[in-house]
Chains A and B, each alone.
Chain A
Amino acid sequence: MSLTATIGDIPRGIPASEAGPAPKRIVVAYGFWIFLLSDVVMFSAFFSAYAVLVHATAGGPTGAQLFNQVSVAIETACLLASSYTCGLMSIAITRHHRLGTYLGAAATFALGLAFLAIELNEFAGMIARDAGPQRSSFLSAFFTLVGCHGLHVTAGLVWLIVMMAQVATRGYAAVVQRRLQCFSLFWHFLDIIWVWLFTVVYLMGVRP
């Protein structure tokens, strides 16, 4: 029996219920996970609204007339690739590898920005064709749902810049590592939301 065991080093063979308080990074990740799930609940409400209103086009354009599958495929590829580079960035952070961290962050940021640019271009094109959010309930629901995801991506990009500034000034302090861990959870979570978006909105929407 050892009296030198510290929090975070849980001896083998002791049940989790008797191992004492969990390490802080686990508690932090759990709290952030709860936030992400509450975000999922919010998105589920927007998804429901979209699914209910998808045929309420008020004589305006339908999804099949508006959506361009090629740009959606490119957006999907950008977001998936940025999720991957975010994972590579987490590995570099584990190893305290500064160049790898910056490269991974730069790739994640560039791919996320490309995604946003394509999405905003699509929005601008729709609004120019008199298919803005005020045209019909279908388009209101569409812009709310997809725009909310776009806002999350924007917030993630700002967060990534802030985190890189913290890495530059404070190095790999424990608190910075925990924040980076939360960021990567957030970024992967956005990709899961996008999977449902392109499935429900774009792929089902272009079917006759």
Chain B
Amino acid sequence: MTDTSYDRAPGDQSVPLDEEESGPSSILIYSIGLVLSLGLTATSFWAANTNLLWGPGVPLGLVVLAVAQMGIHLVFFLHITTGPDNTNNVLALAFGTLIVTVVVSGSLVIMTNLNDNLMPPAGMQMRH
């Protein structure tokens, strides 16, 4: 019974003491995550302020950068993996993503539609 494997959950650092040698590599994982996040954040701030890019496309680009950075955080900081002990976490994450997408995109679509179709008198924007 010496040949054992250990489950890992998101953020799980409690490696048994006989696997101590995995220490330096986990510092490396956090450092890679930090560098990638810093790069993506800097790109976001640059993209929001530059005149080099086509203006109307910038918000979409910012969303893509945010999704990428979220992925970096999930993998390098929260340690979401594809391992068998992570299946439940990934499924829950997928469900959460579904709910968030429905809530956000549904609200935006419905409210934009209402604003367009209710046709307020001229000069009266949606002001509360």
A contact set with B: CB distance below 8 Å: 2, 4-5, 8-12, 15-16, 22-23, 25-26, 29-30, 33-34, 37, 40-41, 44-45, 47-49, 51-53, 55-59, 69, 73, 76, 80-81, 83-84, 87-88, 90-91, 93-95, 136-137, 177-178, 181-182, 184-185, 188-189, 191-192, 195-196, 198-200, 203-204, 206-207
Contacts and interface: CB of A to CB of B under 8 A. Distances in A.
Contacts of B9: 25-26, 29-30, 33, 181
Given A10-B5, A23-B7, A58-B128, A199 B104 contact: no
Nearest to A57: B127
A33 B92 contact: yes
Nearest to A70: B45
Nearest to A204: B59
5 contacts: A34-B92, A52-B107, A58-B128, A83-B34, A88-B27
Contact of B23 (A30, A52, A57, A94): A94
- Scoring B9, B31, B34, B88 by chain A CB atoms within 10 A of each residue's CB, the highest score goes to B9
Q: State the majority secondary structure of interface residues on B.
A: helix
Contacts of A188: 11, 73, 77-78
Contacts of B81: none
Interface string B61-102: 011011001100110011000001101110011011001100
Interface residues of B, number: 63
A11 B3 contact: yes
Given A29-B9, A136-B128, A189-B78, A5 B104 contact: no
Enumerate the 7 nearest inter-chain pairs by beta-carbon distance, A residue then B residue, closest first: A29-B9, A37-B96, A48-B107, A87-B30, A203-B48, A16-B84, A44-B100
A56 B66 contact: no
B12 interface: yes
